[in-house]
Amino acid sequence: MTPLLTTRGLARHYGGLKAVDGVDFSVVPGEIRAIIGPNGAGKTTFVSLICGRVAPSAGMIVFDGNDVTNLPPHRRVRLGIAYTFQITSVFANLTAYDNVALPVQRTLTDGRRHGAVHAGVMSALERVGLAGREHDVAGTLSYGHQRLLEVAMGLALKPRLLILDEPTQGLSDGEIENFITLVREIARDATVLLIEHNMPVVMELADRITVMNGGRILAEGTPQQIRANADVQHAYLGTPEEEGADG
């Protein structure tokens, strides 16, 4: 299958620090791909390069056959790349409804069509379990609900590639179970790239896992292959008894 996203020799250096160091990477349509690794491994910098928030020092990014390496973030959004941040980026003083209405309007030819905006907002909120909270001011929501609101904002863009950076942080056990169901449902229509420290979530959700360490790819494979990889255990997972830890 032709990859939806490919990076070739992708790098980002900050002086002598090689945050991302020559990464070759690809994801196929409909895949749920997890990126894991210890703190400082380069995971967030890598996905920031993909979505355009950070400019590369070297390398190329190809999305759906198009070289997007030098495109600004808003052009990548139009092509179908959506990114939810590691730290929530909701508009705290707006309602949940208005937060989601902003990206919905970007997907409409005529953003003034009230009925279409309303339907898009309510659909996105319902998918993440926030129906009934649409009139709540975003800043008054719990941290976990703010994370879900941000996912709703990403879904409202109708992405082809949805990048989720630490999405289960702050969620209760019950909310995490609902989130797992949600990601599987999203993957019917989109490709999901997931940065996550919660290893049980990663092992349950991911079709394939990419392990980063020191700005490079240490290993790639199925959850079973990654769990059994001695280099990964040494660098990140720890002993088998410690695999459920955050790392």
CATH superfamily of domain region 29-54+70-80+159-247: P-loop containing nucleotide triphosphate hydrolases (3.40.50.300)
pLDDT in tens, 156-169: 989 999 999 888 88
List the structure tokens of 184. 């599987």
Sign of the torsion formed by the C-alpha atoms of 215, 216, 218 and 219: positive
Quick one: pLDDT band at residue 244, thresholds 50, 70, 90? very low
The CA-atom distances, in angstroms, between 237 and each of 41, 45, 77, 207 are 13, 21, 34, 18
Average pLDDT score over residue span 23-28: 97
pLDDT in tens, 117-171: 999 999 999 999 999 999 999 999 988 899 889 989 999 989 999 999 888 888 8
User: What is the per-residue pLDDT for 88?
Assistant: 58
User: What is the per-residue pLDDT for 85?
Assistant: 62
User: What is the per-residue pLDDT for 217?
Assistant: 96
Domain boundaries, the chain: 29-54+70-80+159-247, 87-158
Q: How far apart are CA 152 and CA 9, in angstroms?
A: 32
- At residue 217, what is the residue type? I
Quick one: pLDDT band at residue 239, thresholds 50, 70, 90? very low
User: What is the per-residue pLDDT for 228?
Assistant: 92
The CA-atom distances, in angstroms, between 83 and each of 76, 95, 119, 182 are 10, 20, 22, 16
Check residues 109 and 4 and name the one with the higher pLDDT: 4
User: What is the per-residue pLDDT for 245?
Assistant: 37
List the structure tokens of 58. 């070297």
